[in-house]
């Protein structure tokens, strides 16, 4: 069974150097069917090359309109995207500045100090507690630890 080459294979050999396609050329030289295919392919290529490439003015006008529309659409989309970006940046800046102003504008609440008043009634059963609890004999061993409380006096 003889392997015949397709038109695609023959087209490849049409553009190859003579030394690169020697197997295919040898087959084409011996096979009448492949020779006919190769001749038809060569004729098609010659016809395409001889075809006039002059296009009517309407073709070029249409091409110009298509390109102009594409450029205008791309420009419009670019402007829309940049406008959205600017709006988003302005909104973010307003949010950050508003948060900073609100943070600075609201003063922290001062701590509430609750003062307990003791009645001056003393009974004989009351324990004798010194006026300053830090001066008690029990805490003298911890004077270094509690020295930080001395600023309150």
Domain of 67, in residue numbers: 54-102
Claim to verify: residue 59 and residue 33 sit in the same structural domain: no
Q: Which tokens hold the place of 86? A: 């600017």
Same domain assignment for residues 17 and 43: yes
The tokens for 56 are 């009517």
3-class secondary structure, 80: helix
**Claim: this prediction has a pTM higher than 0.85:** no
pLDDT in tens, 42-96: 888 888 877 777 778 898 899 999 999 999 998 888 888 889 999 999 999 999 9
Q: Which of 102, 119, 140 is the last residue of a domain?
A: 102
Q: Which of 32, 40, 50, 51 is nearest to 14 (CA)?
A: 40
Q: Is 108 inside any structural domain? A: no
| Measured distance CA(54)–CA(127) in Å, rounded | 120
Q: Structural domain tally of the chain?
A: 2
Same-domain check for residues 65 and 92 = yes
Tell me: do 23 and 40 sit in the same domain: yes
**Cα–Cα distance measured from residue 30 to residue 13, given in angstroms and rounded to the nearest whole number:** 16
pLDDT single digits (tens) 117-127: 766 555 555 55
Range 144-153 contact pairs with CB under 8 angstroms and sequence separation of 24 or more: none
In terms of domains, do 45 and 61 share one?
no
Domain for residue 122, yes or no? Answer: no
């Amino acid at each position: 069974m003889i392997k015949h080459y397709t038109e695609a294979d023959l087209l490849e050999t049409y553009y190859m150097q003579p030394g690169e396609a020697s197997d295919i050329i040898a087959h084409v030289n011996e096979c009448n069917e492949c020779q006919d295919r190769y001749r038809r392919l060569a004729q098609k290529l010659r016809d395409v090359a001889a075809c006039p490439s002059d296009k009517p003015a309407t073709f070029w006008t249409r091409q110009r309109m298509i390109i102009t529309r594409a450029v205008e659409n791309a420009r419009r989309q670019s402007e829309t995207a940049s406008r959205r970006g600017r709006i988003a940046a302005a909104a973010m800046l307003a949010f950050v500045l508003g948060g900073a102003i609100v943070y600075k504008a609201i003063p922290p609440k001062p701590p509430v100090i609750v003062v307990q008043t003791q009645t001056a009634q003393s009974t004989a059963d009351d324990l004798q507690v010194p006026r300053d609890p830090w001066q008690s004999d029990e805490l003298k061993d911890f004077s270094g630890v509690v020295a930080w409380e001395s600023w309150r006096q």
